[in-house]
Structure 1
């Protein structure tokens, strides 16, 4: 592997032969070129499907032990991790501490570029220590080019603390290698705009994080069928979604679904269990707890008892 300071050989830094006349294209030709190049993200995900499935299982097992999931990155990679983490509580009613995003430069780097801060490996290690990461946790290092010192420092520190570590990068292992429990490479090739990894690399990373976090939440019982039955009912849109989920799964009228939702304390999963079993809110809550929040398992236990 070449020195991390020398990045010209990296796949993410190379020149894309399909876009060498980028500044001469019409707007329509630009859109068509981006469309062709973005299609490569799908094959990259397909090539990494076994590793992504393993990441889902590894993280779900960690949640079962009381562990947490951390995304670590800088720049676009860091922002994508923070975004995915921030969307878990409203989608799955998960506690904010369950999935967390760590970005080089902290909250300020979400809205203003802090590129120089990614060069400090010690800051990555300090971020891991600050969050008191342990052997129960999973740390996902996200670095498109694979060389970000902040991410390297975080992964090394997490490994020293016994945490499970996952690397997501868009360069092959022979260009950059990092010691991690699971190595996921999303190879989309050179960018349309050379070196701008907020493009295909960012897109494929967002896809991978969507798959990882949603897959984990499915595994731990926060989904019934394809319904987000643990949705947090915190605004009008989500209240409407909750009512539609109840109507779809119970054939109740909207008014009846509304009454059921309120009687459950606006907890869709609890409302469904109450409706299907005839139990009150307290007993349904106890039954859900017995089955670690898995609605299907709780319903099945009533059918077999």
Structure 2
């Protein structure tokens, strides 16, 4: 028996194909790890659940599409496609015709294009922008906000616990910064502070909140090179892009680095820097700086973002 393909069938299969395309694309970024270019790790589980639902919906849409092949659509002037039926079939949708699938060709192109174009662009275009272009738009965050909060947000008190009293005296904090004070004490006791991806933002906050305590401490950081207008020629910023929830809220975080040969480093190049912590002023606020002792070229990580740990205090 020959099956005649009608516009109704085409619409059903096209919808199923679009749903499948989105489901496959999301599955790809999940499996490849590229999903972390768009959202923080804590939200990945929700994307997995949504993608599973999308696959189920696409499968159901294909089921409807194949069923539609058994009924031939008869276009009519009322804007709907009547469905042929026999004694053993119920009329579609409870009445004598299905809601209209036919319409202007251009209207259909526009409607489906709204779904197809984003899918094609998402699959084909690179999902990275240069770090400098993002910083130019967002502005670099060097931790000055941390300094303001610890100076103005209430009385400073010592932390409890069994730490050395002299150490607790160094890390007095207000009620809002107690967790960062505890992190600061942990960093203070380390021979060398390494700015790993984990807790990068939290460590930067703690270091700037208690900048005087960390003078001459050794620090190791990996990031991209950025030069901001107004900085002296021997200074640049080594930074990372931080993502709070999704790519829409990314913010640059970094530390001012000071080196006599800083001009040898290209913008957006990735480096690993070892040096000593100092202190400077940026936009009227005291912040830490890095007095460079050693610079090594570094490969850009596959996922260049760092993410805040919403529960870091419970892990101290």
Greater percentage in strand = 2
- Normalised to the residue count of structure 1, the TM-score between the two structures is 0.21
- Whichever of the two has the greater Rg, that structure is 2
Greater percentage in helix = 1
Greater relative contact order (Cα < 8 A, sep 6+): 1
